[in-house]
Amino acid sequence: MDEYRIVELVKDGYRTGSIKQINNFLLNDTTIISDESYERSYEHNPSISKQVIGYVNNDKTNLVSELEFPTLFNWTFILYAYLYKKGYLYRGYSPLGPAPLPNLKYIIYCITRSMKDKGITRYEFQDRLVIELIDLDVAANNLNLPKIVSSVLGPKLLSENSMLEYDKFYEIAARTRSQKLFAGHTWYDAWLIVSRYFDENERELSKEVFKISQAYERVFRPYRVVYSTKTWEQVLM
pLDDT digits (tens, 9 = 90+) for 20-32: 888 999 999 999 9
In a domain, 98, yes or no: yes
Q: pTM for this one?
A: 0.91
173 located within any domain: yes
Whether 234 maps to a domain, the answer reads no
Q: Let me know the angle formed at the C-alpha of 223 by 220 and 228, rounded to the nearest 5 degrees.
A: 130
Task: Establish if 211 belongs to a structural domain.
Answer: no
Q: 9 near 40, Cβ under 8 Å?
A: no
Residues with Cβ within 8 Å of 4's Cβ and at least 6 positions away in sequence, in order, are: 223
Distance CA 237, CA 222 (A): 15
Q: How many domains does the chain have?
A: 1
Phi, psi of 224 (to 5 degrees): -125, 135
Residue 236: inside a domain, yes or no? no
What pLDDT is recorded for position 236?
82
The pLDDT assigned to 44 comes to: 95
What mean pLDDT, rounded, does the chain reach? 91
pLDDT tens per residue, range 161-186: 678 888 999 999 999 999 999 999 99
Instruction: Name 57's bridge partners.
Output: 23, 109
Domain assignment present for residue 66? The answer is yes
Decide: 197 and 65 in contact? Cβ < 8 Å. Answer: yes
For residue 154, name the pLDDT band (cuts at 50, 70, 90). confident
Dihedral sign for Cα 206, 74, 68, 217, please.
Answer: positive
Kindly state whether residue 141 falls inside one of the protein's structural domains. Answer: yes
> Is 165 within the bounds of a domain?
yes
Q: Using 50, 70 and 90 to split pLDDT, how confident is the model at 124?
A: low
pLDDT category at 121 given cuts 50, 70, 90 is: very low
What is the span of the domain harbouring residue 21?
3-178+220-228
